[in-house]
Amino acid sequence: MRVEPLSGELDVSNGTWALSERSLLQPVWDYLQQNHEGTLRSPLFPVVLSVSTYLVLVLFYTVMDLLAPTWPSIRRYQIHQDRTVTWSNIGTTLALTTYNHLLYIFPAAVAQWLWRPPVPLPREAPTVSAFLLGVVGCTVVFDFQYYLWHLLHHRVGWLYRTFHALHHQYRQPFSLVTQYLSAWELFNVGFWATADPLLLQCHCLTAWAFMIFNVWVSTEDHCGYDFPWAMHRLIPFGLWGGALRHDAHHQQPGTNFAPFFAHWDWLGGTATMPPPTKTKTKRERDEKAA
């Protein structure tokens, strides 16, 4: 005779699964609170985390840019193999990024540090499911927000000329172009990245993970490389935009407005996916001619 499981047994099983989920992140969260609670509670921490992540990523990609002309193993992954990122390009983009951070980001962070009380930290870590769903949820919401903002700032001429045209000075983006932005655009991007985890009531650990993920994929979109580990290669069915699609946006500014996913551009009829430009470098052409 087949014996049906009792509801109590199901509850125990579900409780065990929930406990197992929570136990995966709880030791990490306990360690962070016990050893770095003062740092984590500071209103400056999210700013430092975001800026540090960005600097590490652009340093990596900038080194790749400087090595690419003489290292074929790197150059082969460039979307535009005839492109050379010069020290002048680096200086110009880095100067504006530094200016924006010193004039806008740093004073705003100091104001929060002076006037905002330390952030309370929950004692319990999020479950793995809540953590992952929170990061995905924030990414989806941010993607929709920026898609509308981006579309509007291309369709309305005054908005484009006043706020967004600066970002399009480079038709072949590289990593430092990520934050080659007007103060208005930088403010909007930073506001949504901060507000979306609050809107979705995410755990602060989830909010920080989303912040890192957001900076990572934004930098990857502008990096100018099509590496095998790129997000658009890891996510199937063409659901993710990635560096190739965003590079196409800089080539054809009326297309590919969504920052991360591809579905809004599909639905809006603004999607395009031209083949990557694989132009031989002058050195290769000279070698072939010889």
Q: What is the chain written as a DSSP string?
A: -PPPPPHHHHHHHHHHHHHHHHHHHHHHHHHHHHHHHHHHHSTTHHHHHHHHHHHHHHHHHHHHHHHTTT-HHHHTTBSSTT----HHHHHHHHHHHHHHIIIIIHHHHHHHHHHSPPPP--SSPPPHHHHHHHHHHHHHHHHHHHHHHHHHHHHSHHHIIIIIGGGGG-SS--GGGGG---HHHHHHHHHHHHHHHHHTT--HHHHHHHHHHHHHHHHHHHS-B--TT-HHHHSSTT-B-HHHHHHHHHHSTTS---SSBSHHHHHHT----PPPP-PPPHHHHHHHH-
Is position 166 within any domain? yes
Tokens for 274? 């031209």
Q: What is the pLDDT of residue 120?
A: 84
Is position 174 within any domain? yes
Q: What is the pLDDT of residue 112?
A: 73
Is position 45 within any domain? yes
Q: What is the pLDDT of residue 275?
A: 59
Is position 185 within any domain? yes
Is position 21 within any domain? no
Is position 12 within any domain? no
Q: What is the pLDDT of residue 115?
A: 76
Q: What is the pLDDT of residue 274?
A: 62
Q: What is the pLDDT of residue 15?
A: 53
pLDDT by position in tens, the chain (length 290): 444 444 444 444 455 555 566 668 999 999 999 999 989 998 889 989 999 999 999 999 999 999 999 999 999 999 999 889 999 999 999 999 999 989 988 888 787 777 777 778 899 999 999 999 999 999 999 999 999 999 999 999 999 999 999 999 999 999 999 999 999 999 999 999 999 999 999 999 999 999 999 999 999 999 999 999 999 999 998 899 999 999 999 999 999 999 999 999 999 999 987 654 444 444 444 444 44
The domain in which residue 66 lies consists of: 37-289
Is position 14 within any domain? no
Q: What is the pTM of this model?
A: 0.85
Is position 18 within any domain? no
Count how many domains the chain has: 1
